[in-house]
Amino acid sequence: MKINWFPGHMAKSLNNLSKKARIIDIFIIVVDARAPISSINDEFLKFISNKFLLVVVTKIDLGDSEKFLEIKNFFEQKNFFVLFLNLKNNTSKNIIISQLNYIFKLKQKKQKAKFETPSLKIFVLGMPNTGKSTLINLVTNSRLKVGNQPGITRNNQWISSGKFLFLDTPGILPPKIENQKIALKLALIGLIKQEIIDLNFLFFEAYKLISELYPNLIKDLDIKPAENEAEITKNLSKLAEIKHFKDKNGLDLIRCQIWFLNYIRQQKITLD
């Protein structure tokens, strides 16, 4: 299954970013703790060469903390700096600034001289709805528009704060997401619009994935983990009975599928 959702503003922004990359000192890639590896857009890595890269894993209050050490090791093995943060917590501001100051000193040491200007140019990149604007608002006390849905930021915006100069960018998806498991994860946590994926496909694949990674979440609903679609269909009907999802034709399975997907989104999960 190929997911194609690449609006014109994304294509334009990606092209602009690649042109500006040479003047940037530090790249911050913001990822979601519920799928931190899958929410790295490989298109970004194509123009980030010989640059400092900081991965900020956000929404840790929604993720599975038992997996964070493994995720941290994954990024550090690639020589990325990494922070795990809840951007709703004001203490995150000091953690980010401290990390940027450290990288700033490394940059000075690498150049064996101070920068010609006191500013440090920083690209803030990420897929839609990962928290890029929220991060910049927190660090700079600015008021960029944010929202709990993809596509809020549409234009590149520079914001200064002391010696740091941030560029907020629209959330950018890969032009094509050919790995259906990655597409599933991104849709399940709301980084791409659920409407562009067939509901039936999304439900069945999500059921299989959660059965594999978090079977207790299935068992908590008084149904069984399953990977066979016939078994999943039986469990769907049983869940609809339990939740009293009915319409004039009998069990309302579509409503039940939507409820199940929303239920999974409310759990502390890390799908990578």
Residue 133 labelled as part of a binding site:
yes
Is 132 labeled as ligand-binding?
yes
Residue 201 CB neighbour total at 10 angstroms: 14
Tokens 């509901």 correspond to: 199
> Binding site annotation covers 117?
no
CB atoms within 10 A of CB 87: 23
> Among residues 189, 174, 81, 71, which one has the least CA distance to residue 131?
189
Round to whole Å and give the CA distance between 239 and 217: 13
Sign of CA dihedral 137, 143, 147, 152: negative
Q: Please report which helix (H) or strand (E) contains residue 207, including its range.
A: helix 199-213
In terms of C-beta density within 10 A (0-12 exposed, 13-18 middle, 19 or more buried), how is residue 16 classed? Answer: middle
**Among 221, 46, 34, 48, which Cα is nearest to 131's?**
34
Residue 140 is labelled as binding a ligand = no
Taken as a whole, the chain contains a residue count of 272
The number of C-alpha atoms within 13 Å of 47 and in the hemisphere containing its C-beta is 19
Residue 171 assigned ligand-binding role: yes
Q: Is 147 annotated as a binding residue?
A: no
Q: Which stretches within 117-198 are classed as H helix? A: 132-140, 180-188
| Residue 79 marked in a binding site | no
Residue ranges of the binding site: 129-134, 171
Residue ranges of the binding site for GTP: 129-134, 171
